[in-house]
Structure 1
Amino acid sequence: MAPPGNRRPGYSRRAHNNIFFAYVAAAVGTVVGGALLFGSMGNTGNFASLRNLASDVTQPAAQLTAQGRSAAGGAWGVAAGYFTSGPENARLKKEVALGRVQAVELAAVKQENERLKAMLGLTSDTPKPIAFGWLVASTSASARRYATISVGSLQGIKSGMPVRTDQGLIGRVLEVGLHSARVLMITDPESVVPVRRASDSIPAFATGKGDGTLQLRLLTLGINPLKVGDAFVTSGSGGLYWPGTPIAVVSSLTRDGAIARVLGDPAVSEMVAVLPAWAPGDDPTLPPPADPVKAKADADAAAKAAAKADAQAKATAAKAAKQKAAQ
C-alpha cells in the first residue's frame, strides 16, 4: 500500500530542519528571480555587463565549437564528393573555361573604371574593416535575433558598428565585451535598415520579421514596381550602414513591398568583418560641409545686394513715371 501524501516527518529534528530550509530556499529563489525579471523588463541594459562577462567566459568554448562544426562539415563534404567527383569534375572544367573569359572581361572593366576614377579625381569608398572575427553563436529558437562574434573592445569594436560577411550585411554591434560582442541581426523585429533597389535606387525600409527574412516597405505608395529576384543594397540614409552593401533578394511580393531573403546568412557564415560606422561626411565623393560663419556672411551679402537692386529698380521706375507724366 502506498504511503499517504500528507505524511509527516515525525519528531526528527533533522527532517524538520531540511523541510524548513527547503521552503526558505524556494522563497528566496522566487523573490530573487522575480526581482531580476522585473528589473530586466524595466531596463534591458541593467544586465548588459553580466551578459558581456558571460560572453567573454564562454567565447573560447563557443569558438572551438564553431571550428568543430566547420571541420565536421568539411569532412562530410569530402565523403560526399567521393561519390560525385566525376560529374562535378566535368562541370568544374566548363566553369573554369567560362571563368577565364569572364576574368579577362573583368580585368578590362576594372582598368577602365580605375582610369575614369583617376580622371574624375575620385577614390575608392570601400571602408577598411576594424577587425575580423568568428561568428561563434546565433539565436535560432527565440523571436529575437542576436549573434555573438569573437572580437570585442580590445580589438577596437564599439557599439553601433555594422557587421557583414562576404555575402552581405548581417547586423550591427549592440553590446561590447573585452573579447566578444553581441550583434543585433537585420532579421530581428527591432532592426530597420534604409535600403534601395540596386538597379534603379528605389528607396525602401528593410525590417526584420524574426523568421530569417526581411519585410521590404516602399517609401512611395502606388503600383508595386518590385519583382522576384530584385537585389537590394543599403542606401546609407541616416548613417551607420555603408551605402552599397548587399543585404537581400526579393523572394515574394506583398501589397506595399516584398518579402526578401537575406544574403548574409549566419547559418552558412563563419568569418565576419566589423566596419566603422558610416556618416555622410565619410564619403570622399561628397563636397565638404559649408562653414557656418562664411555661409551666414554670404547670406547677408546676398540679402544686401538684393535690397540694393530692389531699391535701384524702384528708383528707375519712379524716374520713368515722372518723365512720362512730364510729357
Structure 2
Amino acid sequence: MAWPPRRSSGRSSRRQRNIALLGRAATIAAVAIAAMLLVLSRASPDRYSALRSSAADLVAPLWAAVLVPLAEVQAAAGSVADYFNAVEKVRLLEGRDRMYEIERERHLQALHENRELKKLLKVSEPERERIGVFAISGSSTGAYVRYALISGGARDGIEPGQPVFAASGLIGRTVDVGNRATRVMLITDVSSRVPVRVVRTGLPALLIGKNLPLLDIDLSGPSNAVVRVGDRLVTSGDGGLFPPGLPVATVARISGDMPEARPTATPDGLEYVIVERPYMPPILLPEEQPQEREAHPEAVNQTRAAQ
C-alpha cells in the first residue's frame, strides 16, 4: 500500500519562497555592485582607489578578529602534534648519537694507529711554524686580481710566498710584503693554483682560480665523474707551500669541461687570519765551487809544477 505524499504546510512553503527570493536578490545585488565597481575603476581610478582603501579599513579589524582564533587553533594543533612526535624524534636523535659515537671511536683508533706506525717507521714530518695572527684590513676584487690586505708586514716576519688561512679554511698566499701591511693573493685569483685531494677518494686535483666565486677543478686525467657534489677538497701538501689537510673548497657543480667548487673561507666574513711559514722550506742547492781549486786538485798541482 503506497502512502500518499505528505502535504506541506503553508508556513513552510512561504518560508522557502522567501528564502529563494532573498537569495536571488542577494545575487542580483552582488552582480550589480561588481558591475558598478568595474565601471567606477574604468571611469574614475582615483575614486576607486579611495573606495578600496576605505573598504580595506573596514574589513581589516574583522579579518584580524577572525585570524586570531584560527592562529591559536593552528598553534594548539601544532603543539599537540609536536608532543606526540617528541618520542620518535628523541629515539632518532639517540640513534644518531650512538652512530656518531661509534664513528668517533673509529677515528680516534685510526689516529692512534697512525701515530704508532709513524713512530715504528721513524717518519720525519716537517713542523709547522706559525708567524702570527693578523687582522684583515680590506679586500679588493677586480677583473684580473683578487687580493686582501692584512695588518702585518716584514717587521712581523712575513715574507712573500707564505700560506694564509683561517679556522674555516685556506685563504691564499702572501705576495707583496711591506713593512706594516701585506697583500694576500686569494685562491679565487686567476693566477692561483692550489694542489688538493678529494677527501672521499683521495684523488689528487688542482684548484684553479678564475676571478669568480667558484673555482675550477683540474683532475689531471681521471674523469670528472669521480667527484660528486658535496665532496670536500683539502690541501695535499704537494709543492711544499701549503700544509696537508687544510679545508679549501667543496664541490658545488659538475658540468662542462671541469667541475666547480666553492671556497670554504672568504675574507669578506673574516676578521683575523693566520700566517705560517711554508710547510716544506725550499731546497737550497750547494754553491758551485771553483773547479780548478777543488774539483781537480791534481791538475792544479801539475800546472804549478810546469810553471
Match of 2:130, SS state, is coil
* 1:248 correspondence with 2:249: yes
Task: Report the CA distance shift for 1:167/1:112 in structure 2 as closer, same or farther (over 3 A).
Answer: same
CA contact (8 A) 2:126 2:279 kept: no
* 1:153 correspondence with 2:154: yes
Q: In structure 2, what is the Cα distance between the partners aligned to 1:116 and 1:221?
A: 31
* 1:121 correspondence with 2:122: yes
Match of 1:118, SS state, is helix
Match of 2:225, SS state, is coil
Can you list the C-alpha shifts for 1:51-107, whole angstroms capped at 9, x where unaligned?
A: xxxxxxxxxxxxxxxxxxxxxxxxxxxxxxxxxxxxxxxx9xx79x95994897365
What is residue 228 of structure 2 aligned with on the other side? 227
What is residue 201 of structure 1 aligned with on the other side? 202
What is residue 215 of structure 1 aligned with on the other side? 216
Corresponding letter in the other structure for 1:272: V
Task: Report the CA distance shift for 1:256/1:195 in structure 2 as closer, same or farther (over 3 A).
Answer: farther
Q: In structure 2, what is the Cα distance between the partners aligned to 1:265 and 1:204?
A: 21
What is residue 164 of structure 2 aligned with on the other side? 163
Q: In structure 1, what is the Cα distance between the partners aligned to 2:160 and 2:252?
A: 31
Structure 1 residue runs of 5 or longer lacking an equivalent are: 1-90, 283-288, 290-327
- TM-score for the superposition, normalised by structure 2: 0.53
What is the deviation of 1:276?
Answer: 1.2
CA contact (8 A) 1:228 1:252 kept: yes
CA contact (8 A) 2:224 2:258 kept: no
CA contact (8 A) 2:232 2:249 kept: yes
CA contact (8 A) 1:224 1:257 kept: no
- TM-score for the superposition, normalised by structure 1: 0.50
Task: Report the CA distance shift for 1:241/1:108 in structure 2 as closer, same or farther (over 3 A).
Answer: closer
Structure 2 residue runs of 5 or longer lacking an equivalent are: 1-89, 286-307
Task: Report the CA distance shift for 1:126/1:212 in structure 2 as closer, same or farther (over 3 A).
Answer: farther
Task: Report the CA distance shift for 1:227/1:126 in structure 2 as closer, same or farther (over 3 A).
Answer: farther
Equivalent pairs: percent with the same residue? 35
Q: In structure 1, what is the Cα distance between the partners aligned to 2:184 and 2:224?
A: 36
CA contact (8 A) 2:140 2:146 kept: yes
Q: In structure 2, what is the Cα distance between the partners aligned to 1:135 and 1:103?
A: 37
What is the deviation of 1:277?
Answer: 2.0
CA contact (8 A) 2:127 2:279 kept: no
What is the deviation of 1:278?
Answer: 3.5
Can you list the C-alpha shifts for 1:17-60, whole angstroms capped at 9, x where unaligned?
A: xxxxxxxxxxxxxxxxxxxxxxxxxxxxxxxxxxxxxxxxxxxx
* 1:130 correspondence with 2:147: no
Which one has a bigger Cα radius of gyration? Answer: 2
Corresponding letter in the other structure for 1:160: G
Can you list the C-alpha shifts for 1:209-268, whole angstroms capped at 9, x where unaligned?
A: 212221112210546321101111223333322333221110001233311010122122
Q: In structure 2, what is the Cα distance between the partners aligned to 1:251 and 1:104?
A: 27
What is residue 139 of structure 1 aligned with on the other side? 140
Q: In structure 2, what is the Cα distance between the partners aligned to 1:199 and 1:227?
A: 9
Can you list the C-alpha shifts for 1:135-189, whole angstroms capped at 9, x where unaligned?
A: 2211246652110111110111001111111121111101111121000001011
Task: Report the CA distance shift for 1:134/1:276 in structure 2 as closer, same or farther (over 3 A).
Answer: same
Per mean C-alpha deviation after superposition, the further-off stretch among 106-115 and 227-236 is: 106-115
Q: In structure 2, what is the Cα distance between the partners aligned to 1:126 and 1:190?
A: 28
What is residue 176 of structure 1 aligned with on the other side? 177
Q: In structure 2, what is the Cα distance between the partners aligned to 1:146 and 1:223?
A: 29
